[in-house]
């Protein structure tokens, strides 16, 4: 084999596509129920957009982006996440002027050059949403309800919601200093990665998975205990709304997420049906980001959820993955004249909305019937010289095995009356 998929990328084969469509359909239904409208942005953008929004020092920007100069020398990047591009589109198209609150969702591929492992790909897919224009904590909770409703509709209930507040530009700087001082004190006990983060990204030390880091930082101060009044009130409102909505949650004071742009609420949903890469989705509020990208000050909140991981959970829990589409009718032809008639009749059925199929491989009648059976069609129509002369044929119901007489000029109506 000469060419293969690039490491960390995967084909979605026809046999997988049914489950993907089932998930995508469910996402759209839930998004529409919550009054979110779809947005589709380009798969690549100016590199600066991501560097500016996600943060130069984050793993994504410093290590994982697919960045390259295009033929004119401009640096472009395959999108590693959805939020930055949605905000760019919001600002560029003045969406905020058309409506004070803009609620949008997306479904599509993202690209990160991470080390591939189970549940971690280099081209993966996310669905997500952004609500721009309101600081209301009810939207923070809506961003948790959206994925939870998608999971519920797909039959997944074994997932855990973790929330935290990462503060804002008023309370975070003082906390950051406090944390830095504390981390300097225990520097020797920290992993190399964490030591490197003390100066620039100390909050990320808190969500290190390294057991030694965990132990060493067990007693460091957490931002949720050092919030300003506004952030504290906001966090309290989020918790009240979650409780009132009957959504169980855990406060995780170490949850900071890998992106720089979050303010106030940050959240994540994990599933025990996944292995070490157990995060199903993450999100948070980003009240400064629109301004940071050159727009008017606009509060915002959003989430992004992995689709491959969701499919892994569905598979692990053996949840139904949608129905494979099959043709309703297969027209089997006995000779050359009948083949030409079948080709035209098949087209007429397809045009009327009845999925239909014929043979393209010049197979014997027996082989055509075997193929129809393999494809699990509902009906088979056999046509030959006789049928074309009399205008009458028999339509075999493959489930019950019964034959129905059918007039060839009333094929569509007969199939509809039998198939519902």
Site for ligand AMP, rule CB under 6 A: 81, 112, 114, 119-121, 124, 126, 258, 279-282, 304-306, 308-309
Q: How many CB atoms sit inside 10 A of residue 191's CB?
A: 16
**Do residues 158 and 135 touch, judged by C-beta distance below 8 A?**
no
What is residue 120's DSSP assignment? Answer: B
Smallest distance, ligand AMP to C-beta of residue 413, A: 49
| Nearest residue to ligand AMP, by Cβ distance, number only | 306
Smallest distance, ligand AMP to C-beta of residue 356, A: 38
Smallest distance, ligand AMP to C-beta of residue 176, A: 21
Smallest distance, ligand AMP to C-beta of residue 258, A: 6
What the block records as the tokens of 278 is 């157990």
Complex with ligand AMP: residue 120 or 152, whichever CB lies closer: 120
**343: helix, coil or strand?**
helix
Complex with ligand AMP: residue 122 or 396, whichever CB lies closer: 122
Complex with ligand AMP: residue 88 or 226, whichever CB lies closer: 88
Taking the C-alpha atoms of residue 198 and residue 183, their distance in angstroms, rounded to an integer, is 7
| Residue matched to tokens 């406090």 | 178
Complex with ligand AMP: residue 95 or 121, whichever CB lies closer: 121
Beta bridge pairs of residue 256? none
**292: helix, coil or strand?**
helix
Complex with ligand AMP: residue 126 or 162, whichever CB lies closer: 126
| Residue matched to tokens 């699990």 | 376
**75: helix, coil or strand?**
strand
**Do residues 103 and 131 touch, judged by C-beta distance below 8 A?**
yes
Taking the C-alpha atoms of residue 289 and residue 74, their distance in angstroms, rounded to an integer, is 24
| Cα-Cα end-to-end distance for the chain | 47
What is residue 410's DSSP assignment? Answer: G
Smallest distance, ligand AMP to C-beta of residue 304, A: 4
Q: Check residue 248 and give left, alpha or beta (phi > 0: left; psi -120 to 50: alpha).
A: beta
Complex with ligand AMP: residue 123 or 328, whichever CB lies closer: 123
Beta bridge pairs of residue 86? none
Complex with ligand AMP: residue 100 or 116, whichever CB lies closer: 116
What is residue 219's DSSP assignment? Answer: T
Smallest distance, ligand AMP to C-beta of residue 31, A: 17
Taking the C-alpha atoms of residue 84 and residue 39, their distance in angstroms, rounded to an integer, is 13
What the block records as the tokens of 214 is 């965990």
Q: Which of 364, 355, 404, 350 is nearest to 381 (CA)?
A: 404
Smallest distance, ligand AMP to C-beta of residue 144, A: 13
Smallest distance, ligand AMP to C-beta of residue 415, A: 43
Smallest distance, ligand AMP to C-beta of residue 111, A: 9
**Do residues 307 and 124 touch, judged by C-beta distance below 8 A?**
yes
Q: Which of 118, 21, 39 is nearest to 86 (CA)?
A: 39
Complex with ligand AMP: residue 312 or 349, whichever CB lies closer: 312
Taking the C-alpha atoms of residue 94 and residue 366, their distance in angstroms, rounded to an integer, is 63
Complex with ligand AMP: residue 147 or 299, whichever CB lies closer: 147
Complex with ligand AMP: residue 190 or 259, whichever CB lies closer: 259
Smallest distance, ligand AMP to C-beta of residue 295, A: 21
């Amino acid at each position: 084999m000469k060419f293969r998929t690039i490491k960390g990328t995967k084909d979605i084969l026809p046999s997988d596509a049914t489950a993907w469509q089932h998930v995508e359909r469910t996402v759209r239904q839930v998004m529409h129920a919550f009054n979110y409208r779809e947005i589709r942005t380009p798969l690549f953008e100016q590199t600066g957009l991501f560097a500016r929004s996600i943060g130069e020092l984050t793993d994504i920007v410093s290590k994982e982006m697919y960045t390259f100069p295009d033929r004119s020398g401009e640096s472009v990047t395959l999108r590693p996440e959805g939020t930055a591009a949605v905000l760019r589109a919001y600002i560029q198209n003045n969406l905020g002027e058309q409506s004070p609150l803009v609620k949008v969702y997306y479904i599509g591929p993202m690209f990160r050059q991470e080390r591939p492992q189970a549940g971690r790909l280099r081209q993966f897919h996310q669905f997500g949403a952004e609500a721009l224009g309101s600081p209301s904590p009810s939207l923070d909770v809506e961003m948790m309800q959206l994925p939870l409703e998608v999971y519920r509709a797909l039959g997944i209930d074994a997932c855990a919601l973790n929330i935290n507040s990462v503060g804002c530009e008023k309370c975070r700087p003082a906390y950051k200093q406090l944390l830095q001082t504390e981390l300097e004190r225990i520097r020797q006990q920290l992993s190399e990665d964490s030591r490197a983060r003390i100066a620039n990204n100390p909050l990320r030390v808190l969500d290190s998975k390294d057991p030694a880091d965990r132990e060493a930082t067990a007693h460091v101060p957490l931002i949720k205990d050092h919030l300003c009044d506004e952030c504290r009130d906001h966090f309290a409102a989020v918790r009240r709304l979650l409780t009132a909505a009957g959504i169980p949650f855990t406060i995780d004071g170490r949850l900071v997420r890998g992106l720089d742009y979050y303010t106030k609420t940050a959240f994540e949903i994990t599933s025990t049906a996944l292995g070490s890469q157990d995060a199903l989705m993450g999100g948070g509020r980003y009240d400064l980001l629109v301004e940071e990208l050159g727009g008017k000050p606009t509060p915002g909140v959003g989430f992004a959820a992995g689709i491959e991981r969701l499919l892994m959970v569905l598979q692990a829990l053996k949840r139904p993955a949608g129905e494979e589409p099959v043709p309703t009718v297969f027209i089997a032809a006995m000779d050359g004249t009948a083949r030409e008639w079948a080709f035209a009749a098949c087209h007429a059925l397809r045009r009327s909305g009845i999925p239909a199929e014929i043979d393209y491989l010049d197979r014997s009648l027996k082989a055509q019937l075997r193929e129809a059976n393999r494809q699990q069609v509902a009906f088979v129509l056999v046509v030959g010289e006789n049928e074309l002369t009399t205008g009458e044929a028999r339509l075999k119901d493959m489930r019950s095995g019964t034959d129905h007489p059918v007039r060839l000029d009333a094929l569509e109506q007969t199939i509809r009356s039998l198939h519902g």
